[in-house]
Structure 1
């Protein structure tokens, strides 16, 4: 019975692709930054997306709320690019970051790692602080190219613990 409930819960929190919703990630990053919708609009503008405050409010709604609308992957990718520019500055000599049309947890993890200047040791410490067991080789495998033989897909559970741990780390630092 408990196993059946667990399976129902896991099915309910995953999308059809088995990835966290872009909306969930956007809400989590907003919480990590302690940002408001105006801040999100500014970061989106850095990523070359013009979004109204009303549209951002719709993307921040939960699935069960009235008027929920899924945040497009390209918007989340552009937001994360804008976050990189916000946190690290824009290097005019380097080519502009491109927004991916399809985004997955591995891409989100890589972009957050860049934006918050995290090393693999930092990611391991964040997850260990959340009592999530993971090894250093597992983390580096998630950072590899998808066609690499040692590539590992970043799962939803890993991403949730990482986002929760990153929030705890950022809030403790301020």
Structure 2
């Protein structure tokens, strides 16, 4: 799961359009170009795709925290240093701060994403990496969280998908879900097809002759 997916799904869940996204980047001290933003929103197979860098994803989440919670200082938040990367644990932590979620809120979102976990398992994601109870957040866990977040914050969209970020009940997805399937045959009809009945007629029965049968027969004479 790359940062393009995360950026796209967070924007979908929070209803953030392009103008709002650019303003969020500005809050983090970054001037985002609209064309570059659109390229970061694309999928790998789409033309014009550009991978969203770790620093760009971090600035978006930092700006989101400022937008939702207010700025702590007048200075913009520090950017990632060269060579640093943004882990799934950090993404989950920044989203939790921006949304002011407690443990119960996080577990509720996970449950909405069809993933149940305990408070202990959840708290392990927010430990420091050198802590003995630290647990790395995998792509699948982050995907469940973003799916549950969309279901929690977008009640108008009952079942947002995880693959194409479009609601399942949209016309485009409904059309793709309609598959032409052959009607299932009953067991009797299938049996008839696989074992067609032979036409009625005389049944020839072969039997092993006994030893006296040749003696009973009279020799045939050739004319």
Tell me the TM-score range normalised by the shorter chain.
0.7 to 0.9
Q: TM-score, normalised by structure 2?
A: 0.65
| 1:111-135 alpha-carbon deviations (Å, 9 max, x no partner) | 0000000011111111112221211
1:130 and 2:113 matched: yes
Distance in 1 (CA, whole Å) between partners of 2:73 and 2:110 is 34
Distance in 1 (CA, whole Å) between partners of 2:57 and 2:154 is 22
Structure 1, unpaired ranges of 5+:
1-19
Given that 1:43 and 1:86 are in contact with CA atoms closer than 8 Å, whether structure 2 keeps it comes out as: yes
Distance in 1 (CA, whole Å) between partners of 2:38 and 2:114 is 32
Distance in 2 (CA, whole Å) between partners of 1:59 and 1:110 is 22
Larger radius of gyration: 2
Given that 1:141 and 1:151 are in contact with CA atoms closer than 8 Å, whether structure 2 keeps it comes out as: yes
Which of these residues, 43, 46, 66, is aligned with residue 62 of structure 1? Answer: 43
| 1:86-144 alpha-carbon deviations (Å, 9 max, x no partner) | 01111237x75323331010000000000000011111111112221211111000000
Given that 2:29 and 2:76 are in contact with CA atoms closer than 8 Å, whether structure 1 keeps it comes out as: no
For residues 106-145 of structure 1, what are the structure 2 equivalents within 5 Å? 106-145=89-128
Q: CA RMSD in A?
A: 1.6
Which of these residues, 62, 69, 78, is aligned with residue 98 of structure 1? Answer: 78
More contact order relative to length (CA 8 Å, sep ≥ 6): 1
| 1:19-55 alpha-carbon deviations (Å, 9 max, x no partner) | x211111101110111211111110111111111111
Q: TM-score, normalised by structure 1?
A: 0.83
Specify the alignment match of 2:55 in structure 1: 74
1:53 and 2:28 matched: no
Specify the alignment match of 1:32 in structure 2: 13
Q: Structure 1 segments of 4 or more deviating over 3 A?
A: none
1:21 and 2:2 matched: yes
Offset of 1:172 from its aligned partner? Answer: 3.1
Q: 1 or 2, which has the higher helix percentage?
A: 1
Distance in 2 (CA, whole Å) between partners of 1:172 and 1:66 is 32
Given that 2:113 and 2:146 are in contact with CA atoms closer than 8 Å, whether structure 1 keeps it comes out as: no
Structure 2, unpaired ranges of 5+:
157-223
Distance in 2 (CA, whole Å) between partners of 1:165 and 1:127 is 6
Distance in 2 (CA, whole Å) between partners of 1:25 and 1:59 is 10
Which of these residues, 2, 6, 24, is aligned with residue 43 of structure 1? Answer: 24
